[in-house]
């Protein structure tokens, strides 16, 4: 396995999956940086207000604009790794074709819901652009963030279309571990993988400290 619980190989499906995943990962990184910026802005605003009576101008406006960025930039990435919250008490017990049938139906339902959301959010964003909509306090234009939402939903739609292809391949082949789809993991496996990740990170830190000490 690689990239969490998604298996990769040299097949066309896997190459397409990895290509899109690189783009999704870059967007998720930007989303993570945005979260860090929001935290820093919050700290600066609190300290500035408390110590110097100088809060950040338009703080609420900035927060309102940044929240959708944090929420939507990683939406396709999360779908790729199977990270969205769902009830998998029953799904976790399925294997092979029954599992891939269930997953295929789920993805198709998500696609049916996502398509009208793309249309509606795009219409809402264009309306904000045409009307020159802005925030109340410092008049930040709202259309860039509103347009971001349908763009990210469209990317999610592309990911869902690819997963329809991937799950159909898995359904036809009947493989238990097909490529390019998130493989359901039990809590024990997830906990073990996370523990190994932490142990690996600590080992790298100790190795770097040893190298520094030997110089």
Q: Kindly report, residue by residue over 192-201, the tens digit of the pLDDT.
A: 766 776 676 5
* pTM score, whole prediction: 0.84
Over residues 68-88, the pLDDT tens digits come to: 999 999 999 999 998 887 777
Q: Which residue has the higher pLDDT, 152 or 85?
A: 152
pLDDT at residue 91, as a whole number = 74
DSSP letter for 135, please: -
Confidence of residue 49 (pLDDT cuts 50, 70, 90): very high
Mean pLDDT of the 126-144 span: 94
Confidence of residue 144 (pLDDT cuts 50, 70, 90): very high
d(CA 27, CA 78): 11
Q: What are the structural domain ranges in the chain?
A: 12-184
d(CA 11, CA 170): 13
Is 118 within 8 Å of 157 (Cβ atoms)? yes
Query: Which residues lie closer than 8 Å to 62 by C-beta, 6 or more apart?
Result: 41, 56, 140
What is the per-residue burial (b if ≥16 Cβ within 10 Å, else e) of 113-122?
Answer: ebeeebeebb
Of the candidates 114, 110, 109, 181, which has an alpha carbon nearest to the alpha carbon of residue 154?
Answer: 114
d(CA 2, CA 55): 45
Is 36 within 8 Å of 207 (Cβ atoms)? no
């Amino acid at each position: 396995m690689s990239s969490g619980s998604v298996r990769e190989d040299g097949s066309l499906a896997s190459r397409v999956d990895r290509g899109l995943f690189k783009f999704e990962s870059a967007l998720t990184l930007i989303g993570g940086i945005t979260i860090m910026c929001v935290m820093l802005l919050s700290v600066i605003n609190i300290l500035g207000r408390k110590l110097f009576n100088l809060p950040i101008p338009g703080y609420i406006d900035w927060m309102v604009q940044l929240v959708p960025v944090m929420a939507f930039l990683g939406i396709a990435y999360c779908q790729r790794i199977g990270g969205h919250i769902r009830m998998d008490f029953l799904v976790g017990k399925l294997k092979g074709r029954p599992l891939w049938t269930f997953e295929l139906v789920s993805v198709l339902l998500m696609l049916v819901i996502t398509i009208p959301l793309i249309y509606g959010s795009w219409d809402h964003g264009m309306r904000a652009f045409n009307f020159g909509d802005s925030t109340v306090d410092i008049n930040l234009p709202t259309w860039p963030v509103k347009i971001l939402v349908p763009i990210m939903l469209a990317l999610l739609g592309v990911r869902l279309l690819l997963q329809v292809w991937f799950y159909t391949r898995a359904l036809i082949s009947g493989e238990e571990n097909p490529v390019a789809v998130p493989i359901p993991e039990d809590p024990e496996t997830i906990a073990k993988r996370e523990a190994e990740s932490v142990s690996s990170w600590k080992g790298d830190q100790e190795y770097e400290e040893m190298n520094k000490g030997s110089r």
